Amino acid sequence: MKKLLLAICLSTGVAFGQVEPAGGTSVFDKELPQDSEREFQFIAYWYSQAVSSNYYPTNDFLKGQVIGRLFGQNTTQTSAENTSLYVEQRLLPFFIYQPKLFNGRAVLRASFEIDFTWGDVAYGTGGNFGGAVSADQVNIQTQNVELEFIPFKNWTINLGLQRMFDNPYNPYRTLFDYQTQTGYRLMYWGTDASGITARYQGDYNRWKFGAWKFYENQVQENDDVSMYEVMYERDITQNWRWGGSVNYVRDRANGEGGPSILGQGLNSTLSEYNGTFRFPLGGNPYRADIFWLGSFWSRNVNYTSDRFMTTGFVKYNLGSVDTLVANENYAQRASIGGLAVNLHGGYRYGITKGDVLTVDFLYTAGDGNGINDNHYSGVMTGNNWGSPVSVWISHGAYILFPHGNVVNRFVAAVNDVSNLGYGLTGGTVNLYHDIIPNKLNAKIGAASAISNVAPPNGGFLMGVEANGRLSWAPKVYMNLELHAAYMWLGDFYDSGRVNGGNAERPVNPWTVFLGYKWLMF
């Protein structure tokens, strides 16, 4: 059982420390010497990749970071003639400090992103240049700066710029891979944000309470976007976990604030970038109150109890968008009600977690007429307010749905599961095989989706993707990976509304990239 300890450490994150009253032997001559957690830790994640593909932004302005929907407002297009080829690099340093005087009951965590493309610009749709020849400066983003307090056994309170994930677990004490498979799989909320969260992580049930400030805008005005959430999960059998959640976004910002010039909110250009539904509210000030009610489950996520795992959720967003009519009076412009269902399953046919067959199914309701009927029946996610906020990256696809190996470019045909408000029905199938156990893994996969609403002059089929990956782990948490994917675009992309304004269906996208990852600790 020697190897278990490492697994325990990694899965519980206790290397970050959490005090608990020691029980124990109080007989004097058997008194145990006490130890304390490490006061300072440094962890870093390195990722670099050489990428080649036939899609890229066609706007000269968009260097550095490119995020959003393929063929969307970010001007990404496919090409039969041109091939992009670049190397990009990311370092995420994590600094963790636990003052000994607080005996493990307070932790400061700070992490940063240092992203750049070799010889290219670094980050953002403007500014923040660096990394080119003779330029030592590169962009450094503050990813997280947060304090964690542990007031009582099983309770943690996190304060500051922190992980905002849509699962009930403590993001700093749970493996990231586990979090991408559970709760809402980061499909709704999967980014960093400022706020305060309180979590109870009991033996058999878990609570999470969160209050977040998306945009402050004018501090003297009631023009903010805030989110509040409650999540609960319990173990209902030995292997099954089941939970529920309520989220509420109060949007009073009228689309002001947000990532650079794109704005944010229901009527912003950001919607066009991210591939969410852009509410046609014109320049009218609006107020939105949106709720998400959901239930999620998981079973045997780590494939240890037996060979079958499953996770999934049902989630419904509802609410109202009101616009200014006169004299500071607001009237309902549209009601909102959209359903999403995800079913995810896996079968471990071999010895390790690297020998699995997985399937993923997603349904999101769509709306064919927008808010012409004063009702939006599609799905809404965090992508309405940030870029990207919802990151569904555990499906195994690369182009149809976004892949998680990201530095500066995060582009996919379906960048947001609302699919421009059209909704979708789709999924993925992936077969993984450990050629050498826990060392060399091969994967082949396929993904496909139909839009639940056909765009003007287009059809329902979004496309079919085939992909593959070879991954070699020469050392602990160090991987060299070769990825490739090709997507056959469907008749959905016959529509100029969704294909970037082309007269005919664009060229099929493909990508190949060689990635090198190292989680240093």
Partner 1 sequence: MKRGIKYFLAIGVTALMAACATPYAEIEGLGSMENDLQYPFEVKRQALSFGGEVAYVDEGSGDQTIILIHGLGSYLPAWKKNIPALAENYRVIALDLPGYGKSSKGAWEGSLEFFSESVIELADSLGIDQFVLGGHSMGGQITIVTALEHPERVTKLILAAPAGFETFHDGEKEWFRSVATRSLTRLAKPKTIQENVEINFYSMPDDAEFMIRDRIAMRSAADFEGYAYIISKSIVAMVDRPVFDYLNQIHQPTLVFFGEGDQLIPNRYLTGGETQKIAESGSAQIPNCTLHMVPKAGHFVHFEQSEFYNEKVKEFMGL
- Which positions touch partner 1 (CB under 8 A)? 1-12, 14-15, 17-20, 22-27, 29-33, 35, 37-38, 201, 203-204, 234-238, 240, 242, 244, 295, 302, 304-306, 351-352, 436-439, 473, 476-477
Minimum CB distance to partner 1, residue 52 (Å): 29
How far is it, in rounded angstroms, from Cα 437 to Cα 434?
5
Tokens matching residue 344:
């995810």
Minimum CB distance to partner 1, residue 491 (Å): 34
Give 437 or 501: the residue with its C-beta nearer to partner 1.
437
Give 31 or 373: the residue with its C-beta nearer to partner 1.
31
Minimum CB distance to partner 1, residue 202 (Å): 8
Q: Report CA-CA distances (Å) from 2 to 8, 37, 302, 303, 353.
A: 11, 21, 19, 20, 19
Give 13 or 160: the residue with its C-beta nearer to partner 1.
13
Give 243 or 402: the residue with its C-beta nearer to partner 1.
243
Minimum CB distance to partner 1, residue 356 (Å): 14
How far is it, in rounded angstroms, from Cα 214 to Cα 121?
27
Instruction: Report the 10 Å Cβ neighbour count for 337.
Output: 15
**β-strand pairing of 40-53 with 84-97:** antiparallel
H/E segment holding residue 180:
helix 176-181
Give 325 or 351: the residue with its C-beta nearer to partner 1.
351
How far is it, in rounded angstroms, from Cα 314 to Cα 55?
34
How far is it, in rounded angstroms, from Cα 210 to Cα 183?
15
Give 340 or 400: the residue with its C-beta nearer to partner 1.
340
Minimum CB distance to partner 1, residue 219 (Å): 41
How far is it, in rounded angstroms, from Cα 255 to Cα 248?
17
Give 11 or 194: the residue with its C-beta nearer to partner 1.
11
- DSSP string of 378-408? S---GGGTSTTS-----S--STTTT-S--SS
Minimum CB distance to partner 1, residue 239 (Å): 8
Q: Are 36 and 103 within 8 A, CB to CB?
A: yes
Give 61 or 204: the residue with its C-beta nearer to partner 1.
204
Minimum CB distance to partner 1, residue 65 (Å): 32
Minimum CB distance to partner 1, residue 297 (Å): 9
Residue 446 carries which side chain, given as an amino acid letter? A
Give the angle subtended at the CA of 264 by the CAs of 249 and 282, to the nearest 5°.
100
Q: Which of 149, 141, 143 is nearest to 108 (CA)?
A: 149
